[in-house]
Amino acid sequence: MRRSFLTVLLLLPLFTNLSFAQCNGYEPLCEKKYDEVAYLTTHNAYNNTEMGFDFTNHHYSITQQLNAGVRALMIDVYDLDGVPTVYHGLSLFGTQPLTANLTEIKNFLDTNPNEVVTIIFECYVTANQIEGALTTVDLMPYLFEKGSDDWPTLQQMIDDENRLVIFTDSEDASADQGWFHHVWTHAVETPFTYYNVDEFDCEFNRGDPDNDLFILNHFVTDESLGIGVESQAEIANANPFFIDRCDECETITGKFPNFPTIDFYSIGDGLAVVNALNDLGDLGLETNATIDLKVWPNPANNQINLFLDKFDASLNWKYELYDLRGTLVLSDHIDQAQTVINTDQLKKGIYTLSISSAQSHLNHQKLCIQK
């Protein structure tokens, strides 16, 4: 079934804000347990060009990653003069205090009440230092703590406001820091050092194969610099290569890929792969089959006209316009079949238009604004 609707998912661009839908973007995910859901995951999420780092794994900030549909972030934390600080191997290539990254996550959770986010720390600081940073930015109330019961559904986590799950590779948490989950108690992973996409395999690396969660490391590392290789990400992140590996590893290992982890998330089909893993394609097929959208003029100057055939106001339609960096620049609800978008304040350039209902994402297309 997954393959039957993959071609539809490939039409979806990565830059899509999911905040207005019910559970991580889709109502069908609400009744799935946390360990039954796939989350687009960014390797070394903090190490990005937008925040001034050199030799990076991504072009855009954590804020942009979350707005684009990323829901799990791998973050390395070191002690730099007593301050928990994120950087990749050597601080001279760029640093940020951990609190800066956590503030981006806090702002996203505050403004997107139906989203569940995961952090996977590579930790060179203590649990107390992590707790201090979380307390500073007021993230403690959002923390999820897993007890001996099964994983809850996303809806339960949202209802309880425990929407931030934290994993770490360290094991120094105290008895009252149950939110600081040891990742290899809960997850198993594939190897994380590949120098070419041809080396990808489905072997287990760290973690017990019987653990609930599966991290599918799907990125290529530069052998000399230890950073992401963008040219290899163009291959790795594209379908059918990406979905083929997910399917192959699920078949071989019997493990559902909860965390397909990539570099350069803005390249390729990462969100389409996650949607396919989460069996969300039928919803998109049904909606696209019944609604016809017309957009004109394109290129446009000061306004864009939208017309939705068979418009139904009860579905809570909305439009969103993103620039090429994935930043949301315009959005509003659609209250009638024909809508006019005023683009007078937009700069000249290429934008992505998203038309969505409360149930699904309908249409994405490129628009040219000329002045």
* CATH number of the domain bearing residue 119: 3.20.20.190
The residue out of 249, 282, 315 marking a domain boundary is: 282
This prediction has a pTM of 0.74
Provide the token pair at 225.
């610099």
**pLDDT score, position 9:** 39
Distances from the Cα of 166 to the Cα of 116, 181, 183, 200, angstroms: 11, 6, 9, 27
Task: List the pLDDT tens digit at each of the 371 positions of the chain.
Answer: 454 434 333 333 333 343 344 799 888 999 999 999 999 999 999 999 989 999 999 999 999 999 889 999 999 999 999 999 999 988 989 999 999 999 999 999 999 999 999 999 999 999 999 999 999 999 999 999 999 889 999 999 999 999 999 999 999 999 999 999 999 999 999 999 999 999 999 999 999 999 999 999 999 999 877 788 899 999 999 989 999 999 999 999 999 999 999 999 988 889 889 999 999 864 333 333 346 778 889 888 889 988 887 777 767 788 888 776 667 789 888 888 889 999 988 998 888 787 876 545 555 677 888 86
Provide the token pair at 212.
């609930």
**pLDDT score, position 14:** 38
Distances from the Cα of 167 to the Cα of 65, 120, 178, 179, angstroms: 19, 5, 10, 8
Q: Are residues 231 and 158 in the same domain?
A: yes
Total domains, the chain = 2
Nearest to 145 by CA among 34, 42, 32, 29: 34
Q: Are residues 157 and 32 in the same domain?
A: yes
The residue out of 261, 282, 303 marking a domain boundary is: 282
Q: Are residues 276 and 258 in the same domain?
A: yes
**pLDDT score, position 3:** 46
Q: Are residues 243 and 295 in the same domain?
A: no
Range of the structural domain that residue 96 is part of: 3-282
Q: Are residues 275 and 302 in the same domain?
A: no
**pLDDT score, position 352:** 78
Distance CA 15, CA 327 (A): 8
Q: Are residues 90 and 224 in the same domain?
A: yes
